[in-house]
Amino acid sequence: MQDVVEWLKDKGNLKVIDEPIDVELEIPHIAYIEVKKDNSRPLLFTKPINKAKGIEYDMPVLMNIFANKELTQKIFGKHPDQVAQGIDKLLKLKPPTKFIDKLKMISQLFALKNVFPKRSNSLGLCQEIVIPKEKVDLDKLPILKTWEEDGGAFITMGQVYTKSLDGGMQNLGMYRLQQYDKNHLGMHWQIHKDASHFFDQYQKAGKKMPVTVAIGGDPLYIWCGQAPMPHGMFELLLYGFVRGKNAQLVKSITNDIYIPKDVDIVIEGFVDPTKMAIEGPFGDHTGYYTLKEPYPIMEVETITMKEKPIFQATVVGKPPLEDKYMGWATERIFLPMLKPMTPELIDYYMPENGVFHNLILAKMKTLYKGHAQQFMHAFWGVGQMSFVKHAIFVNEDAPELEDDIAITEYILNRLDPQKILITQGIIDALDHTANESLVGGKLGVDATGKEVEDGVKSLLSDNDLLEKMQEIDRNILELKQYFTHTKNPICVILVNKVESMQNIIAKLKPLKEHIKLLVITDKTNNEIDNPYMLLWRVVNNIDAQRDVVLEPFIAIDGTNKSKLDGFNREWPKDTHCTKKVLDSLQERGLIDIDEKFIRKFGLLGFE
């Protein structure tokens, strides 16, 4: 990381903050604001402190390293599309028939020798300092508390290395870890993730599971940790493939797990499958808190580090975040891996305000009736792609998927209730909307066909339509229509919710001549003219089976749910910054934001 910092100073526009700044809320708030700026910068906090605990840390905190697309590309050393092309070539390797093809293949296969991590039994740089069990103190690490209502401090960029019970598979996953005390961490590997599958094996065998968590080193390790590699494939193969050189691994001191030799900090320990503890709440990358839940506990056996380690961390909450840029690289690199199942897939895009699993747009060459439905089922059945709740498919003639306006017009002109599929499937463990956890509604839109014939019969102005609605229900407070020039204008209304929106939708049916697509959400914490955050809210807040109605117009209930809706779980709060902290940072010149910025990204709550 010391090398990375020098490199960032030279190539990454690193901002160094030498003032003492608190790891509780202050550092996270600064990083949260930075990542939302155009062309945001990586940040190095050289004097992290913890005022509440009276600690001055002796290592800096590096944040926002995936600060923008340009820097992400520099971290890869090439454009993610180039990595994708390499993978595509590999997947299409065929036995050579001509001599020249054989020669070409030799060079391709030779390059593969760099893919496999190399193990060494000598000590690594990351083991220059060894802290024995009795001296382990997690308070020596500048672990951040991001949000006021977080259950504590969390390691947010930990590379979690684990092994299957038979030792045959090794895994790297990026999972957050909650600090409980001096030597215990909450291990938040969700039920669908590889390390959780290994955990099941140890639990069944009644054995303690070794775990090693690494922090820092080459930033590409972190990207590999979040990459949705198929089960059983060690993520550091991808590291070797991208870098063109093998990951160099050394053995952990107290267990048999191998970790990159150049990481900054290593936390070794084990998880006892008979013990669980409450993890969370934690303000997550959905922009909502994940609620308290039992997760395994990691007991720390030893901590090792470099002589001058740097602590790497990230902050999550409402978009945009660093995961926008990591996710962009992931999206590009995994495109060829989706193609064997969906060969006519041309491209896909997961907008950051759809928080990845809440919205995907996919472009395909449509060959037959039902082709888009076939792809919906394929997506919902494949690895982590199966977490996607809402998938919209467009034909090859559609505009660029990232051209928000043009692609929305294209979709709205083809939106047909007959071509919307609502079904059920597995959902991300973080999803808060389904009546039960882990299984919920899926919505697929087939917009691959021709433009629909009928638009709105009688388009009214926003004021006239709102007036008509308010004659029916006074709790409808604001209205704005978007894309009125398309066949399916989006009519957004904000309500003061006192009953189920299904009642409101039923009451509004007489206005069907004026509405094609109605989107409802709460007045509190939403702004009618902020489509970026409205999209974030609505795709986050719906379970399509419960919240989408197709007749006589399409209606989407994006309000927060409660008993009024037959929803009996706890509905989580939004992640909001702490006003006092923002004010103090602003006064000290550490941030420079105005009311517009605060509202644009929903930094604070409002009525």
Ligand X SMILES: Cc1cc2nc3c(=O)[nH]c(=O)nc-3n(C[C@H](O)[C@H](O)[C@H](O)COP(=O)(O)O)c2cc1C
Positions marked catalytic? 284
Number of CB atoms found within 10 A of residue 570's CB: 12
Residue type, 56: E
Give whichever of 198 and 567 is closer to ligand X, judged by the CB atom: 198
CB of 156 to ligand X, least distance (A): 6
Beta-strand runs (E) in 55-195: 55-56, 61-63, 118-120, 129-131, 154-155, 159-163, 170-174, 177-179, 184-187
Give whichever of 252 and 384 is closer to ligand X, judged by the CB atom: 384
- φ, ψ for residue 94, nearest 5 deg: -125, 155
Q: Does 384 bind ligand X (CB under 6 A)?
A: yes
Q: Does 442 bind ligand X (CB under 6 A)?
A: no
> H/E element holding 326?
helix 322-338
Among 174, 338, 361, 495, binds ligand X (CB under 6 A): 174
- φ, ψ for residue 178, nearest 5 deg: -90, 130
Give whichever of 194 and 527 is closer to ligand X, judged by the CB atom: 194
CB of 385 to ligand X, least distance (A): 11
Q: Does 283 bind ligand X (CB under 6 A)?
A: no
Among 189, 202, 375, 483, binds ligand X (CB under 6 A): 189
Q: Does 226 bind ligand X (CB under 6 A)?
A: yes
Residues between 49 and 68 that touch ligand X (CB under 6 A): none
Q: Does 155 bind ligand X (CB under 6 A)?
A: no
Give whichever of 158 and 489 is closer to ligand X, judged by the CB atom: 158
Nearest to 375 by CA among 336, 338, 407: 338
Nearest to 590 by CA among 43, 88, 2: 43
User: x/- binding map, residues 284-323, to ligand X, per CB under 6 A?
Assistant: ------------------------------x-x------x
Give whichever of 42 and 558 is closer to ligand X, judged by the CB atom: 42
The single-letter DSSP state of residue 312 is E
Q: Where are the alpha helices (DSSP H) in 392-530?
A: 404-412, 462-472, 501-507
Among 326, 329, 542, 585, binds ligand X (CB under 6 A): 326
Among 46, 190, 525, 584, binds ligand X (CB under 6 A): 190
Among 32, 45, 76, 175, binds ligand X (CB under 6 A): 175
The single-letter DSSP state of residue 534 is H
Give the separation between CA 45 and CA 51, rounded to whole angstroms: 15
Joined tokens for residue 513: 């001549």
Number of CB atoms found within 10 A of residue 424's CB: 14
Give whichever of 144 and 411 is closer to ligand X, judged by the CB atom: 144
Q: Does 188 bind ligand X (CB under 6 A)?
A: yes
CB of 23 to ligand X, least distance (A): 17
CB of 234 to ligand X, least distance (A): 9
Joined tokens for residue 606: 């409002």
Give the separation between CA 550 and CA 446, rounded to whole angstroms: 14
> H/E element holding 425?
strand 420-426
Give whichever of 187 and 554 is closer to ligand X, judged by the CB atom: 187
Stretch that binds ligand X, among 171-179, 213-221, 253-261, 372-380 (CB under 6 A): 171-179
Among 20, 152, 228, 320, binds ligand X (CB under 6 A): 228
3-state secondary structure labels for all residues of 336-360: HHHCCCCCCEEEEECCHHHCCCCCE
Tell me which residues touch ligand X (CB under 6 A).
171, 173-176, 188-190, 193-195, 225-228, 314, 316, 323, 326, 384
